[in-house]
Amino acid sequence: MNQSTDTLAPLSSAPEAEDGPSRYFVTSFGCQMNVYDGERMGEMLAAQGMQAAASREDADLVILNTCHIREKAVARVYSDIGRLKRDDGSKPMIAVAGCVAQAEGEEIARRAPSVDIVVGPQAYHRLPQLIEQARHNTLAGSKKAAIDTDMPAVTKFAALPVRAKQPRPSAFLTVQEGCDKFCTYCVVPYTRGAEISRPFADLVDEAKALVDGGVKEITLLGQNVNAWTGTDAKGRHQGLEGLIEQLAEMPGLARIRYTTSHPNDMTDGLIAAHRDIAKLMPYLHLPVQSGSDRILKAMNRSHTAASYLAIIDKVRRSRPDIALSGDFIVGFPGETEADFEATLDIVRAANYAQAYSFKYSPRPGTPAADMEDQISPEIMDERLQRLQDLLNTQQQAFNQTTVGERTQVLLERQGRKPGQLVGKSPWLQSVHVMADGARIGDLIDVELVSAGPNSLEGRALTLVNA
């Protein structure tokens, strides 16, 4: 339901007020699910007749699609709002969407009176009405922002238009949202709500629309993507591997990925899919967060270091070349040097191809924010550095092991040199290749010839479009 709130906002002098905005610009922060949401907001506004602006300056509606996961991300939103004011004193209509909108609601409009719309991640299908409401508020001289942070029982997806033609060969598809795990440091269960799985048939339809629009690779997204469940056309209960199996039958779709997974939902069926389904890429993002059982318990992760390593073992037996990725938090409250050493140990044991690591950031309303023994920033910095040094060494070593491989690269963008294109290997590495005549969206055979820490060089062999 739409709500509105009194703010101390001065009247917006936005030029869009009379007719409503006509050119939108969306900036998404944070995770891939936010990127997906940002794209869907854009597609919805385009379906309403608005145009995508080339830049924020050129837009009369700017949507900041925000992330609440760490404090820094939140601070960025407020500085960004401030920078939207133009030299002549005017400003575009400003919408704050995403997880900060959900978590802070009216507080945003109080703290940043130039904000016209606040819309949560489960309510953005109502953006057109909120824009209308904001426009009316402005015209009527009201100081209200249009706010909608509802989490409706019927999900937004049914209200969104069919996927538009995509600008890139690789697309995201959100299949699952929310989280019931309640890790003690994490805001996601509060900002995104309870775990929901989108229906099987809707996902097949959306994938088909993406492929019809030229997409070759789909990454299935969810905060706990491997918790997805559904019922197929024959009425059979399916886990994520069942959905992947069905999508793999779609002509034109060459590659399937999924992210992010929780260790506890890593079923034998999904692990076997990595062996059995050729289109499922050999890459797994499986966050462990810490290698210390004591810290994992305090985090409410409900797995241990050993149970995590046992899963990795199974995955590697199923798909020996899997590129393993993960997330780590250093400096969780109470983390001792010995706990941190256990994290380094699990990194050594698991051997990552690539990983993300963060300093713990206390988030308001989460249990960990009130725990004793918060770790000093200096210790966090030092631990993060040591962890990242180890992860970088592993990444470089992984890249090196793939040199000499003959594999396929999906070309995603032009490179810096003439005739150079950049794409992704099956292991999600960036590969630069001289491929005169090849186009973005081509899947080409390459030999990987050299590796750096962040990308590889490939030599083009032949074109192999799906």
Q: Which residues bind ligand SF4 (CB under 6 A)?
A: 179, 181-183, 186, 188-189, 223-224, 262
Quote the least distance from Cβ 195 to ligand SF4, whole Å.
9
Is residue 225 involved in binding ligand 5AD (CB under 6 A)? no
363 contacts which partner out of ligand 5AD, ligand SF4, none, CB within 5 to 8 A by kind?
ligand 5AD
Q: In this structure, what DSSP letter does residue 233 have?
A: T
For residue 27 the two structure tokens come to 């900036």
Quote the least distance from Cβ 188 to ligand 5AD, whole Å.
7
70 contacts which partner out of ligand SF4, ligand 5AD, none, CB within 5 to 8 A by kind?
ligand 5AD
- Say if residues 123 and 97 touch (Cβ distance below 8 Å): no
CA–CA separation, 46 vs 207, rounded Å? 20
Q: Smaller CB distance to ligand SF4: residue 182 or 364?
A: 182
Q: Smaller CB distance to ligand SF4: residue 99 or 411?
A: 99
CA–CA separation, 289 vs 343, rounded Å? 8
Residue nearest to ligand 5AD (CB): 327
Stretch that binds ligand 5AD, among 46-54, 335-343, 354-362, 428-436 (CB under 6 A): 354-362
| Residue found by looking up tokens 């899919």 in the block | 273
360 contacts which partner out of ligand SF4, ligand 5AD, none, CB within 5 to 8 A by kind?
ligand 5AD
Q: Smaller CB distance to ligand SF4: residue 40 or 181?
A: 181
∠ CA 30-425-33, rounded to 5°: 20
CA–CA separation, 292 vs 339, rounded Å? 5
Binding residues among 324-353 for ligand 5AD as defined by CB under 6 A: 327, 329
Is residue 361 involved in binding ligand 5AD (CB under 6 A)? yes
The three-state secondary structure class of 118 is strand
Quote the least distance from Cβ 375 to ligand 5AD, whole Å.
12
143 contacts which partner out of ligand 5AD, ligand SF4, none, CB within 5 to 8 A by kind?
none
Cβ neighbour number for residue 364 with a 10 Å cutoff:
13
Write the binding mask 61 to 80 for ligand 5AD: x where contact by CB under 6 A, - elsewhere: --------xx----------
Quote the least distance from Cβ 104 to ligand 5AD, whole Å.
16
Dihedral of alpha carbons 92, 98, 102, 108, sign: negative
- Say if residues 231 and 194 touch (Cβ distance below 8 Å): no
Select from 311, 306, 346 the least CA-distant residue to 327.
346
174, 271, 420 from 242: Cα distances, Å: 16, 12, 38
329 contacts which partner out of ligand SF4, ligand 5AD, none, CB within 5 to 8 A by kind?
ligand 5AD
Phi and psi at 449, nearest 5°, equal -110, -25
Q: Would you give the distance in Å from CA 285 to the centre of its chain?
A: 12
Quote the least distance from Cβ 271 to ligand SF4, whole Å.
19
Select from 391, 399, 397, 407 the least CA-distant residue to 451.
399
Q: Smaller CB distance to ligand SF4: residue 94 or 188?
A: 188
Write the binding mask 183 to 212 for ligand 5AD: x where contact by CB under 6 A, - elsewhere: --xx--------------------------
CA–CA separation, 66 vs 360, rounded Å? 19
Quote the least distance from Cβ 289 to ligand 5AD, whole Å.
6
CA–CA separation, 80 vs 89, rounded Å? 16
Quote the least distance from Cβ 28 to ligand SF4, whole Å.
18
For residue 390 the two structure tokens come to 């180890």
Which residues would be at the binding site for ligand 5AD (CB under 6 A)? 69-70, 185-186, 287, 289, 327, 329, 358, 360-361, 363
